[in-house]
C-alpha cells in the first residue's frame, strides 16, 4: 500500500496548525491527515475522524511539509576532494574556488549539481535555490545554462531556482547593471538577480544600480549581504533603505547578514526594524558562518558568526535556514539536507522548540515568493508532499532524523515504511 488515504496520529508542528487546535500537556494533540488524489483534503485533531482500512497509524510520528533549501551553491558542490590546502576564512575559500575554476566543464558542473539535487530530493526537499558564480560583465558563466537545463529536467520533483551571484563592482555602471539584469531575466521565471555585498567591495551606487535594474526587469533578488563580523558593514541597512526609496515591488532575500551580530544592539535593532517593513526575507546559513567567520589558522574561534535570528523572528521577519556550501572549499561537510542546518542553528543560537516553532524555517517556500505569505499556513489543499521522521520525537528533533519516509503527492517516494504503521489497516481489511 503505497498511498494511504488517511495518516492517523501524525504529529504536526504548532506553526502549521490553527490557533484553536486543541492542546494536551502543553503540546498540540495529534492529527488525522486525510488525503485525496495526492492532495491533503483535511487535517483534524485525533478523535474526530473514523479509521479507514487504507489508513496508516503513525503513532505520533513527526511530520513536516516538503522542505525548502533556500540557499545553496550547486556549481561549487563536491569540489573539495580535488583541491590542495585551502586557507581558512571566506576570502581564502574564494581564492581556492577561483583556482579550481579551470577544471569546470559543463559535464563536470552537471555531474556535481545533479548529485546535489539527488541528495536534496532524497531528504524530502522539493524546492532548491542555488547561487551561480557570475564573474564577467558580458559573458554568461558556463554553469548558468547547465542550471537552467537541470531546472527543466527536475520539474515535478524539485523546483530549482538559480541566482546570478555577481560581485558588486560589476553593477557600478548603470547601463551594465541593466544588461546583467536583462540577461538574467531572459533565462526564465526561475532566475533571480544576485550580488555579493561585502565591506571589501562596498558601493552604495552599485547596490542601487543592482536594485533598480532588477526593478525595471521585474526580477526578484537574492543577495549575499554582510557575510562578515565587521561592525562597519552597512549592506543590509542600506538595502532596506534603498528598497523603500525606489519603491521596489519584488522580494529580496538577504543571506548571511552576520555583521548584525557584531554591531551595537541599538544599531542592529534599528536595521531589523527597517527590514521588517521591507519585502525582505532573511536566510541564515549557520554551518558556513561557524566555519568561515572568526577563522584564523591555529586559533580557536571566539565568535559564532550567526546573525540575530531570534530578534528577526520576534519582528515577524520571514527567516529560513539553509545549507549553503556542501563539500567544497567553503565547507567540507554538508549533505543538502536543510534539517542539518537547523540542527546546527538549534545549538548555536540556542533555539527553543526546534520542531514546534523553528521547523517552519525549513518549510516556508512561500517566504521566497513576492506575494504576501498567509498569516497561518496550512496543509489543507496542498499536495501531500510530507516528510515523516520515523525515529525522532518532538523533544530531541532534529536529532535522529536520518530515518525518513518521504511522501510525494501521497505516495512513498523514499524510505522504509515501518511495519507497525500498517498493522491497524491490515486488521481492519
- Which residues are annotated as catalytic? 227
Q: Which is nearer to Zn ion, 57 or 324 (CB)?
A: 324
Minimum Å gap between C-beta 255 and Zn ion is 6
Closest residue to Zn ion: CB criterion: 324
Minimum Å gap between C-beta 167 and Zn ion is 13
Instruction: Collect all residues with Cβ–Cβ distance below 8 Å to 212 and sequence separation of at least 6.
Output: 174, 177, 246
Is there a contact between 80 and 137 (Cβ–Cβ < 8 Å)? Answer: no
Size of the site for Zn ion (CB under 5 A): 1
Q: Which is nearer to Zn ion, 368 or 392 (CB)?
A: 368
DSSP state of 251: -
Q: Which is nearer to Zn ion, 8 or 324 (CB)?
A: 324
What residues numbered 175-204 form the site for Zn ion, per CB under 5 A?
none
Three-state SS for 387?
A: strand
Minimum Å gap between C-beta 285 and Zn ion is 6
Q: Which is nearer to Zn ion, 70 or 405 (CB)?
A: 70
Query: What are the distances in angstroms from CA 124 to CA 65, 84, 159?
Result: 9, 33, 12
What residues numbered 61-80 form the site for Zn ion, per CB under 5 A?
none
Q: Alpha-carbon Rg of the chain, whole angstroms?
A: 22
Q: In what order do the strands lie in the sheet with 39-45?
A: 39-45, 31-36, 6-10, 55-57
**Per-residue string for binding with Zn ion, 306-335, x by CB under 5 A?**
------------------x-----------
Q: Which is nearer to Zn ion, 306 or 379 (CB)?
A: 306
Q: In what order do the strands lie in the sheet with 319-321?
A: 67-72, 125-134, 159-166, 191-197, 221-225, 252-256, 280-284, 319-321
Minimum Å gap between C-beta 104 and Zn ion is 18
Q: List, as one string, the DSSP characters of 254-315.
A: EEE-GGGGGS-HHHHHHHHHHHHTTTEEEEE-HHHHHHHTT-BTTB---------HHHHHHT
Q: Which is nearer to Zn ion, 61 or 289 (CB)?
A: 289
CA distance 77 to 2: 33
Minimum Å gap between C-beta 144 and Zn ion is 16
Minimum Å gap between C-beta 164 and Zn ion is 13
CA distance 169 to 176: 10
Instruction: Collect all residues with Cβ–Cβ distance below 8 Å to 6 and sequence separation of at least 6.
Output: 32, 33, 34, 35, 49, 51, 52, 54, 55, 56
Which residues form the interface with Zn ion (CB under 5 A)?
A: 324
Amino acid at each position: 500500500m503505497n498511498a494511504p488515504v488517511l495518516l492517523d496520529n501524525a504529529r504536526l508542528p504548532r506553526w502549521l496548525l490553527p490557533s484553536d487546535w486543541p492542546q494536551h500537556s502543553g503540546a498540540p494533540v495529534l492529527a488525522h491527515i486525510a488525503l485525496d488524489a495526492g492532495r491533503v483534503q483535511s487535517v483534524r485533531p485525533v478523535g474526530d475522524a473514523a479509521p479507514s482500512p487504507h489508513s496508516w497509524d503513525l503513532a505520533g510520528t513527526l511530520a513536516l511539509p516538503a522542505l525548502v533549501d533556500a540557499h545553496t551553491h550547486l556549481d561549487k558542490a563536491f569540489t573539495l576532494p580535488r583541491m590542495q590546502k585551502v586557507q581558512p576564512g571566506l576570502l581564502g575559500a574564494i581564492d581556492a574556488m577561483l583556482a579550481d575554476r579551470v577544471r569546470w566543464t559543463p559535464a563536470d558542473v552537471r555531474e556535481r549539481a545533479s548529485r546535489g539535487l539527488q541528495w536534496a530530493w532524497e531528504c524530502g526537499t522539493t524546492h532548491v535555490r542555488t547561487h551561480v558564480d557570475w564573474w564577467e560583465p558580458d559573458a554568461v558563466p558556463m554553469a548558468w545554462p547547465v542550471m537552467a537545463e537541470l531546472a527543466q529536467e527536475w520539474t515535478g520533483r524539485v523546483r530549482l531556482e538559480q541566482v546570478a551571484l555577481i560581485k558588486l563592482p560589476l553593477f557600478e555602471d548603470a547601463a551594465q547593471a541593466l544588461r546583467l539584469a536583462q540577461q538574467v531575466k531572459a533565462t526564465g521565471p526561475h532566475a533571480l538577480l544576485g550580488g555579493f555585498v561585502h565591506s571589501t567591495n562596498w558601493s552604495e551606487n552599485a547596490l542601487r544600480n543592482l536594485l533598480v535594474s532588477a526593478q525595471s526587469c521585474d526580477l526578484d533578488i537574492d543577495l549575499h549581504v554582510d557575510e562578515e563580523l565587521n561592525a562597519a558593514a552597512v549592506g543590509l541597512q542600506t538595502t532596506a533603505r534603498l528598497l523603500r526609496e525606489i519603491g521596489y515591488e519584488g522580494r529580496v532575500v538577504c543571506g548571511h547578514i552576520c555583521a548584525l551580530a557584531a554591531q551595537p544592539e541599538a544599531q542592529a535593532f534599528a536595521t531589523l526594524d527597517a527590514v521588517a517593513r521591507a519585502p525582505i526575507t532573511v536566510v541564515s546559513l549557520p554551518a558556513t558562518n561557524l566555519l568561515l567567520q572568526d577563522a584564523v589558522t591555529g586559533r580557536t574561534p571566539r565568535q559564532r558568526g550567526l546573525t540575530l535570528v531570534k530578534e528577526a523572528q520576534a519582528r515577524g521577519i520571514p527567516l529560513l535556514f539553509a545549507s549553503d556550501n556542501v563539500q567544497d572549499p567553503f565547507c567540507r561537510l554538508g549533505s543538502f539536507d536543510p534539517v542539518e542546518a537547523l540542527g546546527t542553528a538549534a545549538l548555536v543560537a540556542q533555539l527553543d522548540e526546534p520542531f514546534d516553532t523553528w521547523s517552519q524555517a525549513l518549510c516556508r517556500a512561500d517566504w521566497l515568493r513576492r506575494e504576501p505569505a498567509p498569516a497561518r499556513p496550512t496543509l489543507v489543499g496542498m499536495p501531500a508532499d510530507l516528510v515523516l521522521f520515523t525515529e525522532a520525537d518532538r523533544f530531541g528533533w532534529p536529532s535522529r532524523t536520518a530515518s525518513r519516509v518521504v511522501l510525494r503527492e501521497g505516495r512513498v517516494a523514499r524510505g522504509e515504511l515501518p511495519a507497525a504503521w500498517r498493522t491497524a489497516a491490515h486488521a481492519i481489511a
